[in-house]
Amino acid sequence: MWSHASGSPWLAETDYVGRPKLRLFCLPYAGGGAAIYRGWSREFPSTIDVRAVRLPGREQRAAEPAWTNLEQVATALARALLPLLDQPFAFFGHSMGGAIAYEVARVLARDHGRMASGFMASACRAPQLPSSRPWLHPLPDRKLLDELRRLGGTAPSVLDNAELMQLVLPTLRADLQLIETYVAARPSSLDCPIVAFSGLRDFEVGRDQIAAWRQVGNGDFRLHVVEGDHFFINSERERLISLAATEAERWIA
């Protein structure tokens, strides 16, 4: 999946060839990069072209400052995806990635007349709901590191590496600001099926907050509960990929 250039800084390299029946754009959680989705394409049917989104401030875009305004990210990403919308398309986003994906789907529908065939939100509160958690992005570095340890999404070896964390923290803090300050302006429905994934032990985003995605779809809504905490995308990787691939196949005409 990762051997050839994608032609856009917003998308990871891919070796997918052929003419897909569906393109699935996958967006990362706060602090994450396109590498989260490494290997996903090999687990999906050959009719589905899995494309991992690379946001500014990480990986090959590490020299760019991370953005802190979700609507601005969504507008720029939507424009970048337009050349790849020659086939039906869908979205998968985990945590912060789900919120960005939702806004991208709205921009594509509203400004470009392009409607997604399906949408998957993983460990992400529905857009019409405000955040119920205290903000982390203004915390001093030491307290922020303590919260990251509690959340469990960052490897201890990374958190214990002071030099590495000096490089990582600005992007992570920007991502947290982006998602913590985001509230959808006049939330609108996506005219497509919506699938939501919830972790059985996710104490960061409640099951009811995830189930509320039902209210912004076309009535075709499915909720899957998997083992794991907020970062079940890592701990339950095989199970999640299997469910996501099965759901995506439903959207192929």
Catalytic residue among 6, 95, 117, 198: 95
Q: Please give the Cα distance from 67 to 135 (Å, whole number).
A: 17
Q: Is 132 a catalytic residue?
A: no
Alpha-helix runs per DSSP H in 12-161: 40-43, 70-81, 96-112, 141-151, 156-159
Please count the residues of the chain.
253
Q: Taking the mean position of all CA atoms in its chain, how far away is CA 190? A: 17
Which tokens hold the place of 124?
């992400």
Helix (H) or strand (E) holding 158: helix 156-159
Number of C-beta neighbours around residue 130 at 10 A:
9
Which tokens hold the place of 242?
């299997």
Furthest C-alpha separation in the chain: 51
Q: Please give the Cα distance from 121 to 91 (Å, whole number).
A: 8
Which tokens hold the place of 183?
């509230």
As a whole number of Å, the end-to-end CA separation of the chain is 24
Report, as residue numbers or ranges, the catalytic residues.
95
